[in-house]
Amino acid sequence: MTAAAIMLESDAANSTYTVTKPSTPNTTVEPAVTALAEPESDSASAVNVDAADPNALNPYIHLVRDQNITTIPSFTLECGETLTHVPVAYKTWGTLNAAKDNAIVVCHALSGSADVADWWGPLLGARRVFDPRRWFIVCCNVLGSPYGSASPVTINPATGTLYGAHFPRVSVRDDVRLHRRVLDQLGVASVAFAIGGSMGGMQVLEWGAQFGPAYVRHLVPMATAARHSAWCIAWGEAQRQAIFADPAYHAGEYSQDNPPRAGLAAARIQAMLTYRTRDSFQARFARRFTKGADRTQGDLSVMGVPHNDGLGHFAHATTGNKVTPGVFSAQSYLRYQGDKFVHRFDANCYVAITRKLDTHDLARPYDEDVDPDEAYTAALQRLTQPTLVLAVASDGLFTVAEHEELVAALPNGELGVIASPDGHDGFLLEFDQVGHAVDEFMRRVAPEYFADDLDGASESEVAAPTESSTFGEVDLTAW
């Protein structure tokens, strides 16, 4: 159990959760936007992209503070389509050394951003695992994400409108190939470690597969798989169908003024149940009600709640979701999570990224005469880098058995298991265990980077979380 969970458990039972929109940083000047002709669809207003900002109409871009955005002139995707004027958002910490080989590539998860300090903050900083005095740390935002890289909420230079539902199919492999272009711009000669969890772990494995041990020397994938399972594909489909069922979705041709909030909230609620566990919910919520509930009426008070209470509010969501008395704490928490998510994510982006996950298979493309399982094993055997694979013991999406199968095929793989009752999200909550496992591995396989003995310490520190995360799972007021 994390420190945050210990502090908050006593409050979770009776809390009524409310949501406030994240504040917009006042350090960035909005680019000028000039209207052109009527847009081709109602998914966006047309803008003059002559000079510039592909994120000019992106309502989520300012949620990530102080990031950099570079533009790749042209990039051809696996699907065959070519993107032009491609923005890639990224953040860096530390300095590249003289040999240009001290880079750590940190890869974010599905709804994450390039801001490692937000979702893995306790691991980043002086004397910590990701120490900027020792390492040059880079995190790039993936294609399809609403946080700066090319996505449904960036402007298509061919039309002057948002890509919207017309954003092409992308893959994890596309992300890694595109991010390599960013590392080349930054002058990185080779990567000491590629590290990430969930979708980030998929990227880590693709980094190793696409560029080999001469360029990416060590891998740390966690809470992930080398190919997306039928179980995960099915959950992604269920979440997309929730979005598609929202009448406001309009086959993806919605305006940013009226997005499919109810569908996206329902998708997030489903996802939250896959990220956690039955036991973690039972321990924190049981059958308790929110504050203000009439506990003497038991289930009768719940039956008195309108049948569509909750998601119906999202069609008119403002800055909060006031919960009707009689709602169970578990219900309240899920509504809170859904409401919070619709203020920071886009439905078309969610569709694009979950479809991306479905394509993930390290062995692609298969020869017709080769058994897929044999091809999968062969692909893993080509990953010769020293690799620490971290599983979360209670993960219901990427099971320990999947991680064991992964490690069994890796020539230089080893398995660590994170003890957590919180399921898949354990890699974003169990900072002590993740930090110490990664630190021990780094010092053992790359001792040359620790020869300077910066602080005379034999291990790195892991800080306690001090604020809630926008893009991760630390919530100091609600979990």
Distance of CA 19 to CAs 82, 144, 163, 337, 478, Å?
39, 25, 29, 9, 10
pLDDT tens track of the chain, all 479 residues? Answer: 333 332 223 333 333 333 333 333 333 323 332 222 322 333 443 444 444 799 999 999 999 999 999 999 999 999 999 999 999 999 999 999 999 999 999 999 999 999 999 989 999 999 999 999 999 999 999 999 999 999 999 999 999 999 999 999 999 999 999 999 999 999 999 999 999 999 999 999 999 999 999 999 999 999 999 999 999 999 999 999 999 999 999 999 999 999 999 999 999 999 999 999 999 999 999 999 887 554 444 443 333 344 455 555 544 444 455 545 578 999 999 999 999 999 999 999 999 999 999 999 999 998 888 899 999 999 999 999 999 999 999 999 999 999 999 999 999 999 999 999 999 999 999 999 999 999 999 999 999 999 887 776 667 777 666 565 565 554 544 43
Contact 43, 164 (CB under 8 A): yes
* DSSP category for residue 349: H
Q: How many helices (H) and strands (E) does the chain have?
A: 14, 10
Q: Is residue 395 among the annotated active site residues? A: yes
> Checking DSSP bridges between strand 68-76 and strand 82-93, what pairing results, if any?
antiparallel
- Nearest-angstrom CA–CA distance, 337 and 133: 36
Q: Is residue 301 among the annotated active site residues? A: no
- pTM, full prediction: 0.83
Q: Is residue 475 among the annotated active site residues? A: no
Catalytic member of 118, 343, 424, 475: 424
Please, where are the H alpha helices in 83-140?
116-119
CATH numbers and ranges of domains, the chain: 3-239+352-450 (3.40.50.1820)
Catalytic member of 118, 395, 422, 475: 395
In the block, which residue shows the tokens 């289930």? 299
Catalytic member of 45, 198, 329, 394: 198
Return the beta strands (E) in 118-258 as ranges. Answer: 136-140, 155-156, 161-162, 191-197, 219-222
